[in-house]
Amino acid sequence: MLPVARAMGDFAFPGYDQLQYNFQFAYLDEALNGVFEAIDPEKNVFVISRGGEFALMTRILKSNHHRTLRFEGTYDLHYLNAEAVKDHSPKPERIYYIDLPNMGESARISDLQQLRTLYDVKEIRRFGPHGHFVEVYTMARRSS
């Protein structure tokens, strides 16, 4: 575990940051930027696993759809978690489920099982650099 608390000058709470940082997931920023470049976040609905909000709690630059911490020239990214889709009204015609690799296989299986009661998978695309990727499922609402 990296000593993040000590590096940030937080000597009062050693071990306060309990997350174990793994450089394997350092590609997520670049992969998610690729997703938002290809699939316009201002016009589409993204869905993630409950608990994956950390990856999408961000603002998006209007100029290139990259994630950022800035406020100027940005907008909030709107998304739903997989459990909330069933209660959302009206249901989006098309959604993009982002399979975050650090959420685990069981989360992906559970999410897709729930989503497939309302949506059909139309396409699965991979985004990311150097063999590391995030999968995005394009899903279209089933006819009633």
Q: Where are the domains of the chain?
A: 24-141
Give the distance from CA 5 to its chain's centroid: 26
| Angle formed at CA 58 by CA 20 and CA 66, multiple of 5 degrees | 105
Mean pLDDT, the chain, integer: 83
> Edge-to-edge, what's the strand order for the sheet holding 79-81?
79-81, 45-48, 94-99, 134-141, 119-127
Write the burial class of residue 72 (CB in 10 Å: 0-12 exposed, 13-18 middle, 19+ buried): exposed
The backbone torsions φ and ψ at residue 129, rounded to the nearest 5 degrees and listed phi first, read: -95, 150
- Which tens digit of pLDDT belongs to each residue from 52-107? 887 777 899 999 999 998 899 999 988 998 888 988 888 999 999 999 887 878 88
Q: Rounded to whole angstroms, how far apart are CA atoms 132 and 139? A: 23
Q: What are the residues facing 111 on neighbouring strands?
A: none
Q: Rounded to whole angstroms, how far apart are CA atoms 90 and 98? A: 21
Contact call for residues 25 and 42 (beta carbons, < 8 A)? no
Q: State the residue for tokens 């009204």.
A: 89
The confidence score (pLDDT) of residue 107 equals 87
Q: Rounded to whole angstroms, how far apart are CA atoms 3 and 109? A: 34
Q: pTM score, two decimals? A: 0.81
